[in-house]
Amino acid sequence: MFNRNQRRTDNASANMTPMLDIVFILLIFFIVSATFLREEGIDMQPPPDGPVCDGCPAPILVQVTANSRIYVNTVPTDIERVISAVNRLRAEEPYAAVVVEAHDEANHGVIVRLWDEMQTNGVPVALNRTDGVQPVP
């Protein structure tokens, strides 16, 4: 029997080792089974400065301003007429590349539409971002 002076001490404790093992196993499982996707986007590298080669034709410059106005070699044009203007200029210079110079505040849908039309028609195009350059009329 217990004496009233004797106290019963319960050493109730939880063993944390199995729980930590399970947590580490789950962590390893989720790290190994996670899929890592590489998202692809538009290459935003500006074209090199200066002429690329001697005798190369000057590039055709398509500018998109902050309010999404479009200029082809400083001539204002409509988005539906850009590809025809570019094709007309490329008929004069067949190996001329196209540089799309887009303002940071321009509508991205317009830029992507231009890019897609150029790619669909087989026009070599480079994209150049600007932060405030306006076309010279």
Q: What domain range includes position 104? A: 60-130
CB of 103 closer than 8 Å to CB of 65: yes
Domain for residue 16, yes or no?
no
DSSP 107-124: -HHHHHHHHHHHHHTT--
What's the domain count of the chain?
1
Which pLDDT band holds residue 52 (cuts at 50, 70, 90)? low
Beta bridge partners of 98: 60, 125
The SS3 assignment for 100 reads strand
pLDDT tens, 69-93?
999 988 999 888 998 998 898 888 8
What is the model's pLDDT at position 26? 93
In this structure, what CATH number is given to the domain that contains residue 95? 3.30.420.270
Mean pLDDT, residues 43-48: 62
